[in-house]
Amino acid sequence: MKRSILLFQLIFAGLVLMISQTFGQTISQSYEAFPVKKKFVHLPVKTGAPKTWMTVNINGVLQHEFQIELAPGEPDFYATVEVGRWQGKKLVLTAETVTSDSKWLTNVKVADEMSDEALVYKEAYRPQFHFSPRRGWTNDPNGLVYYKGTYHLFFQHNPYGTSWGNMTWGHAVSTDLLHWTEKPDAVLPDKNGVVFSGSGLVDWENTSGLQKNPKKDASGKLANPPLVLFYTSIQADRGKGPAAQSMVYSLDEGKTWKKYPANPVLPNLITDNRDPKVFWYSDRQNPAGPKGGHWVMALYLEGENYALFSSQNLTNWEKMCDIKNLGCSECPDMFELPVDGNSAQTKWVFWGGDGKYLIGTFDGKTFTPEAGPFTTKYGGNDYAAQTYSDIPATDGRRIQFSWMSGGKYPGMPFNQQFTVPRSLTLRTTSEGVRLFIEPAIEIEKLRNSKQANFSANLKGMDNKIKVPGMKGELFDIEILLDFKKFDEKNPLSTDTTNLIYMEIFGQKITYNMGSKIIESAGIKAPLVPVDHQIRIRLIIDRTTVELFANDGIIQIANCFINKDKVPANLSIWGKKDLATVSVKSYQLKSVYSIQPGS
């Protein structure tokens, strides 16, 4: 029979350690602080150690719980519990099952500073300008919202380990989409469950009534609107139950976040319903109607099926229509874009988790597909993309981040990263209107003044052209393949042996002139020359190659690890006189003030 007894109590520096033992192979242990005086409790983590559930109690009330690989001895890194919000209260952290000889309690750190300050962002495989979490795991980008000069980036986060789990919303802010400051996690699991993906918005008219003390600016507009985040709560015991849609809000410009007390705002409809994307629809036909429009929620249901819901106040939702047969599942996004930059001619895009999209019309109630599904991606490390809400009209861009899923970061205290920020446009092609995805212009701010300009004719399969001046590991490279002279001599050529090879850091890219297929990291995509030309842009970071072709009609995101420290050495080769090759190469700067690994 198992029984628990109090072993001892240590009091020092205002902190209390409580240890209770259960006879058998494992014990439960608790860490106590009363009163809470510091901002952070740093817990020692050892990747691969047995996982234990840890509960967080404040004044005897369960706040949330998570799994963690507590280090029984020397830790690999520290995971952080932000406790500053509970200053003066009693904190109890209880590990349910650890080995009786575990030393995790003696390695706990309490501080007003984040842990590992001397090490963070200097790791061997830390991306240098792609967002990655300070510590722990990340997957989907969430809650992308812009407000008062700040881009808010939320993300699926496991703060307590480098594998998927403990779904929480991490939070980072930036003024340029490149340099990010990570904030304490914004949305923690609660009685409604763990926190899955969703979206963010500014409630400019306070339709929700969440701002109880509204203030007007000089122009008469609301000066302190609520910022609102919608997410999926996976209910029941430890995230294993049905899903529902919940929300949190901020009344201080995103510094702190409060759970809506009547969560969930949209109860479970079907087992998998999740990933709410919420945006404001302006009613152009009836601008004098209630608030001049309404809120729309795009929601994944199951299979390849989605639905749209409407609300006037963000809390009461009614179903409007179904959207079926997208060709993929999860993580919807929906937005309106001008065609060819013409604001008088717009189309709506409905997007799914795997990058499939439909083009159509939307009257505020029903989305009517007119073309698709299409895709801009053909496999690779790219999933669950989301675009920003509330980008000012003076900017006008549709800015997107995506999770570079499946990357490997051996031995690192973080795991996974996002793509570079991307700009989306609709353009007319020979096959109709299509979505184009390109790196956001902000990337060019990282370019060094030095660049390599190079042009040559292909010299043959056994004669590689090596582009001079390629030093470093961070690049923005523009490659132009011009086939005009070859096409004039061979206007109907479909010879699939007409191959052009490009290689950098050991990563090979191939273009087949006959089949009109480009291939990178084993991923193939159709790519037809435009005016006898193929334009390729490569954005290269320490662990990634992102390829954009012909202004982003296709893009391939690929993660890799350069374990052998292969130098850049961009080489291009192919059949003699097949094409003229032009290259512009820019070395990019790290977003970190100190280069990792230095």
Active site residue 333: no
Q: Is 165 helix (H, G, I), strand (E, B) or coil?
A: coil
571-574 vs 194-202, strand pairing mode: unpaired
- In terms of Cα–Cα distance, which of 93, 104, 16, 98 is closest to 55? 93
The alpha carbon of residue 322 and the mean position of all alpha carbons in its chain are separated, in whole angstroms, by 26
* Upstream peptide bond of 127 is cis (omega within 30 degrees of 0): no
C-alpha to C-alpha distance for 548 and 535, rounded to whole angstroms: 8
Dist CA 427 CA 441 (whole Å): 18
Cα separation, 325 vs 513, whole angstroms: 33
- Catalytically annotated residue among 101, 112, 140, 363: 140
**501-521 burial code (b ≥16 CB/10 A, e <16):** bbbbbebebebbbebebbbbb
Strands 136-147 and 414-415: parallel
Say if CB 168 and CB 155 are below 8 A apart. Answer: no
Q: Centre a 10 Å sphere on the Cβ of residue 178 and count the other Cβ atoms it contains.
A: 19
User: According to the 3-state scheme, what is the secondary structure of 353-393?
Assistant: CCCEEEEEEECCCCEEEEEEEEECCCCCCCEEEEECECCCC
Q: What is the DSSP string of 542-557?
A: TTEEEEEEGGGTEEEE
Active site residues: 140
